[in-house]
């Protein structure tokens, strides 16, 4: 698919910007084969989110919740970053202050070589204690399906933010500050419906940023944007890099350790 044309005023804006934020959602991983949440083949469509991604669901049926996350961890293990991840991994070398804020929990930005990522909703590959919050590496159910417990006696769970849980305070504060001081704020591959994360779009707008939406579909917040690039991020982001000369390594980017 040919990339959509990138308007000259946007190229001028990006090349003169001193702070750029990329805010990403599940769509940036779609071309890596990771199902999104709300599109027809989306992850949530087979389950009701209340059944699985809430602390209540975990407390009521930890085995069921672990089965779903173990399935997704296995899926993530079979996926690779795509050209959209690799493009963003290089922008930090060309912009005075580049901030990557992601809602994604799949770890693909890290594996593409991005640094200093704000993971608003945690990371599915990490685990922690549900009671004391102590990090627990990447532990999950063992081969016999025995569920893991913390030395404090609490059940261990995936280190992601569930619905009804607050976002990690420090991560949220840094993300909020970066959105507030962005010259250009790109929202890439998100349906912009999950809060408070989606509220960052308005934070950037109110602070005077130029807003860019990269998404093949319209979203609930499309009319907030100054530029709308209707196409897949795996095509659009490398095209922006190509025009600006920000692509030096492409998928030869430093493959970060898992
Ligand atoms: C909280 C981790 C305090 C788990 C996730 C107002 C304020 C505060 C809270 C709320 C509020 N209103 C409602 C709430 C409650 C709730 C909420 O937002 N509900 C929504 C559904 C209405 N928020 C919370 O509970 C948050 N906690 O605020 O705590 C509190 C609590 C209760 C009440 C008040 C305050 C916590 C939310 C975090 C939930 N955890 N994930 C896990 O993953 O297992 S959210 C989950 O959705 C993922 O993280 C995902 O990233 C995120 C957002 O989805 P998207 O990334 O946008 O994915 P989606 O499929 O929707 O869209 C994909 C897009 O990509 C589409 O637009 C598609 O067109 C596009 N696309 C497809 N292909 C491509 C593409 N784009 C580019 N290229 C392509 N190739
Ligand atoms: Zn514990």
Cβ atoms 57, 50 nearer than 8 A: yes
Helix (H) or strand (E) holding 157: strand 156-160
What is the overall mean pLDDT for the chain?
93
Nearest CA to ligand 1 atom 76: 189
Residue 189 has pLDDT above 50, yes or no: yes
Catalytic residue ranges: 121
**Secondary structure of residue 163 in the 3-state scheme:** coil
Residue 255 has pLDDT above 60, yes or no: no
Q: What is the mean pLDDT of residues 147-166?
A: 98
**pLDDT on residue 118:** 98
**pLDDT on residue 252:** 54
**pLDDT band for position 154 (50/70/90)?**
very high
| Contact 255 CB / ligand 1 (< 6 Å) | no
Interval between CA 194 and ligand 1 midpoint (Å): 3
**pLDDT on residue 250:** 59
Nearest CA to ligand 1 atom 44: 53
**pLDDT band for position 254 (50/70/90)?**
very low
Q: What is the mean pLDDT of residues 7-32?
A: 97
Q: Which atom of ligand 1 is nearest to the CA of 72?
A: 44
Q: What is the mean pLDDT of residues 198-210?
A: 98
Share of the chain above pLDDT 70, in %: 93
Nearest CA to ligand 1 atom 67: 191
Q: What is the mean pLDDT of residues 133-162?
A: 97
Buried b (16+ CB within 10 A) or exposed e, 26-60: bbbbbbbebbbbbbeeebeeeeeeeebbbeebbee
CB-count burial class (<10 Å; 0-12, 13-18, 19+) for 248: exposed
Q: Which ligand is nearest to the CA of 129?
A: 2
Residue 3 has pLDDT above 80, yes or no: no
Q: What is the mean pLDDT of residues 167-185?
A: 98
Nearest CA to ligand 1 atom 11: 195
The CA distance from 39 to 44, in Å, is: 9
Residue 99 burial (CB count, 10 A): 23
> Can you give the pTM of this predicted structure?
0.94
Nearest to 62 by CA among 150, 137, 3, 192: 150
| Contact 43 CB / ligand 1 (< 6 Å) | no
| Contact 232 CB / ligand 1 (< 6 Å) | yes
Give the least confident one: 70-84, 116-130, 154-168. Answer: 70-84
| Contact 179 CB / ligand 1 (< 6 Å) | no
**pLDDT on residue 44:** 64
The CA distance from 125 to 12, in Å, is: 38
| Contact 81 CB / ligand 1 (< 6 Å) | no
Q: Which atom of ligand 1 is nearest to the CA of 43?
A: 60
């Amino acid at each position: 698919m040919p990339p959509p044309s990138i308007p000259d005023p946007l190229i001028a804006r990006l090349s003169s910007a001193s702070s750029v934020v990329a805010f990403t959602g599940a769509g940036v991983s779609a071309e890596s084969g990771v199902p999104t949440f709300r599109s027809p083949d989306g992850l949530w469509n087979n389950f009701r989110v209340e059944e699985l991604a809430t602390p209540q669901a975990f407390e009521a049926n930890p085995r069921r919740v672990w089965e779903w996350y173990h399935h997704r961890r296995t899926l993530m293990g079979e996926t690779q970053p795509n050209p959209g991840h690799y493009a963003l991994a290089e922008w930090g070398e060309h912009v005075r202050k580049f901030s990557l804020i992601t809602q994604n929990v799949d770890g693909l930005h890290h594996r593409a070589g991005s640094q200093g990522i704000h993971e608003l909703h945690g990371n599915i590959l990490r685990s922690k204690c549900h009671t004391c919050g102590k990090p627990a590496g990447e532990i999950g159910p063992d081969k016999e399906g025995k569920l893991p417990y913390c030395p404090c006696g609490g059940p261990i769970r995936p280190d992601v933010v569930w619905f009804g849980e607050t976002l990690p305070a420090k991560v949220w504060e840094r993300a909020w500050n970066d959105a507030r001081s962005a010259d250009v704020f790109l929202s890439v591959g998100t349906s912009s419906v999950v809060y408070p994360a989606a509220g960052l779009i308005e934070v950037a707008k109110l602070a005077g940023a130029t807003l860019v939406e990269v998404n093949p579909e319209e979203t609930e917040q499309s009319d907030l944007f100054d530029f709308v690039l209707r196409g897949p991020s795996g095509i659009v982001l490398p095209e922006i890099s190509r025009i600006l000369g920000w692509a030096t390594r492409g998928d030869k980017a430093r493959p970060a350790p898992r």
